[in-house]
Structure 1
Amino acid sequence: MGADKINTNKINIVDTTLRDGSHAVSHSFTVEQAVAIAGGLDKAGIDIIEISHGDGITGSSINYGFSKVDELELIEAAGKVIKNAKLAVLLLPGIGTIEDLKKARERGANAVRVATHVTEADIAVQHIAWAKQAGMFAVGFLMMTHMASPEKIVEQAKFFADAGADYINLADSSGAMVPDDVRARVSALKAAINVPVGFHSHNNLSLAVANSLAAVEEGALYIDVTCRGLGAGAGNTQGEVFCAVLERLGYNTGVKSFDLMDLAEDVVEPLMLRPQVVRTDSLMLGYAGVYSSFLLHTRRAAEKFGIPPRDILVELGKRRMVGGQEDMIVDVAYQLSQKK
């Protein structure tokens, strides 16, 4: 991309290590870890720091996995060390409620990202409207956007825009997109709605940085990242890498790249249960278009029923399973085991 075409607006970096990264560590973050990571992110100049259970506030449950520490404690502790960034929570209507959002706000959250399946944005309208009335920064978050056309995404995003969303985030929740898929969706939304656009990627096809850069080149102003790429599946856009790439290309992020690198290496990497690499099962998430947070659930079901994770993920993809249907993973594994 030529320098004359570079977006001269500030690119806002949204770090979700303490939310999407929660999936990769089985929701085991401690208060001390949350404080260290949140404080380091704030010092590095990150714009928005998201903290929640991986499946949003009140996601701690038998279906999604229990948190080691109540997320409200993590939010409150992190809020005490965040001086400049917005402190955000994720809310999935049906898992979290407005009452839960009130509690998070009381503990220090001043931003919320309300996430729905790509065809169900209408169920988030009341949550976004309440957040705006309460003085919060509110984001409409469309998940699994590889499953819908650009036209459908525009249709759904209008629900968020009409409710007063500060920006609209498109999530490649399966890591199934290639750059042209991202370009088509971001450019369509930019052309149709006068609300800033954001993008959230997973690295299941090893394209998270490339896809996030494609989003920026099409005018996205908010990009999700995690330190060391810590997140569901093969992880997310690796923050220290992506910010270095943007810096090399002349974009303005306001992020202190060396501070972010040090945080990733000295604080986040030591707590990781395993390296965030593209293994066969995480690759299959992107290949089959399966929700990234299904990975650990699938590994456990595969071990229990003696079925290769790849077979389970292919079947989940055929059935077009989406976030919130984690309970079906065991059913699918059992059914496959009966065919052996």
Structure 2
Amino acid sequence: MSRIFITDTTLRDGSHTVSHKFNPEDVKKIVSALDAAGIDIIEVGHGDGLTGSSINYGFGDHTDFEIIQAASSIIKNSKLAVLLIPGIGTVEDLKKAKECGITAIRIATHVTEADVSAQHIREAKRMGLFTVGFLMMAHMADVHTLVEEAKKMESYGADVVYCTDSAGAMLPVHVQEKISALVKNLSVPIGHHSHNNLGLAIGNSLAAVEAGATYIDGSLSGLGAGAGNTATDLLVAVFNKMGYEHKADLFKTMDASTNALIPVLEAKGIKTNTNLDTMILGYAGSYSSFLLHARRAAERFGVDIRDILIECGNRKAVGGQEDWIIEIASDLAKLKNN
């Protein structure tokens, strides 16, 4: 199976959650954490795309260009992207975004309107940008129509074409059918962007990969419009369990949520239900009732609860062996101190 490339859209799709109020310092903090975690592409900007700040879509406190400059000043390894919807963003806006530091662009249209992306995709390629065609509301088109529209974006020069479930309406069987058709009929890589409105974002992302997609979107803690996007932290954990090749670091991705994103949200009065320790239970195959015991042991011995739970899974501990958690935590503390 080919390597999977992860795009994180916390600072673009997730911008809807904060009414487009991420500031440059927020952006620097979150971009730095995502970059350190090995995320391939980091998307920033107004939730409705480049220059989306308006009475129609909601005003941001800062321009997209200020946000791009903040991200560009801190990013080291990841590609820096924005979304552009023709009719909202112009070619002149694209040029200015390039001057501010983007290295990738995602040109988004309704699934039946790929033809309006031609000028923007061609201009982006002329500027040397990594260029993604982004077909939104893909559930509204049949397979034949989706393939024909995707071929247009490919013909304009797109490096990747996305099947985008903007409404979170697709089931895994639909994702598998549409991604398979795109992989079969296009020569460029195929991507998928999920929303969690039916609770299927992770399942649909897996279906996309199994059908041949190699570009998958997520956002930290699933932040995004509607019920949110595929959670990047969960995505990395599941990809690891599936044995997929990618370059994201699980713990660093989790830390990007816990130490970068969540404090930013809480400072804006937004509470999240994120509990990534419970994710590690599933990741490690560790007995669910071990969580409280592991948390106490982690505090007592000054070690990472994630390491405790993973070691419980490695040792195949079961209910009734809670005393083993103390031994594991003690062993980890000794290794840490040595």
Superposed pair shares fold, TM > 0.5: yes
Picking from 189, 192, 205, the partner of 1:196 is 189
**Would you say 1:64 and 2:57 are equivalent positions?**
yes
Gaps of 5+ in 2: 275-338
- How does the TM-score come out when normalised to structure 1? 0.78
- Matches of 1:270 and 1:108, distance apart in 2: 26
- Matches of 1:235 and 1:268, distance apart in 2: 14
- Matches of 1:54 and 1:14, distance apart in 2: 15
Percent identical? 55
Query: Counterpart of 1:141 in structure 2: which amino acid?
Result: F
After superposition, the Cα gap between the structure-2 partners of 1:65 and 1:276, relative to the gap in structure 1 and judged at 3 Å, is: farther
- Matches of 1:245 and 1:84, distance apart in 2: 23
Displacement, 1:274? 4.1
Q: Give the secondary-structure state (helix, strand or coil) at the position aligned to 1:224.
A: strand
- Matches of 1:170 and 1:188, distance apart in 2: 11
Contact 1:116 1:124 in 2 (8 A): yes
Q: Tell me the number of residue pairs that the alignment of Structure 1 and Structure 2 aligns.
A: 270
Q: Give the secondary-structure state (helix, strand or coil) at the position aligned to 1:73.
A: helix
Q: Give the secondary-structure state (helix, strand or coil) at the position aligned to 2:10.
A: coil
**Would you say 1:53 and 2:46 are equivalent positions?**
yes
Deviations 1:169-225 (A, max 9, x none): 111000001100100110001111111000000000000000001000111000000
- Matches of 1:31 and 1:218, distance apart in 2: 38
- Matches of 1:266 and 1:206, distance apart in 2: 25
Contact 2:33 2:255 in 1 (8 A): no
Query: Counterpart of 2:33 in structure 1: which amino acid?
Result: G
Question: Which stretches of structure 1, 4 residues or longer, exceed 6 Å deviation after superposition?
Answer: none
**Would you say 1:275 and 2:272 are equivalent positions?**
yes
Picking from 234, 240, 243, the partner of 2:236 is 243
Query: Counterpart of 1:89 in structure 2: which amino acid?
Result: V
- Matches of 1:260 and 1:71, distance apart in 2: 24
- Matches of 1:20 and 1:99, distance apart in 2: 23
Contact 1:226 1:237 in 2 (8 A): yes
Displacement, 1:252? 1.1
- Flag the structure with larger Rg: 2
Gaps of 5+ in 1: 1-6, 278-340
Contact 1:19 1:50 in 2 (8 A): yes
- Matches of 2:21 and 2:48, distance apart in 1: 13
Query: Counterpart of 2:49 in structure 1: which amino acid?
Result: G
Deviations 1:99-146 (A, max 9, x none): 000000000001100000000000001100001011111110000000
> What residue in structure 1 maps to residue 157 of structure 2?
164
> What residue in structure 1 maps to residue 109 of structure 2?
116
CA RMSD of aligned residues (A): 1.0
Contact 1:230 1:276 in 2 (8 A): no
Deviations 1:12-43 (A, max 9, x none): 00001010000011000011110011111111
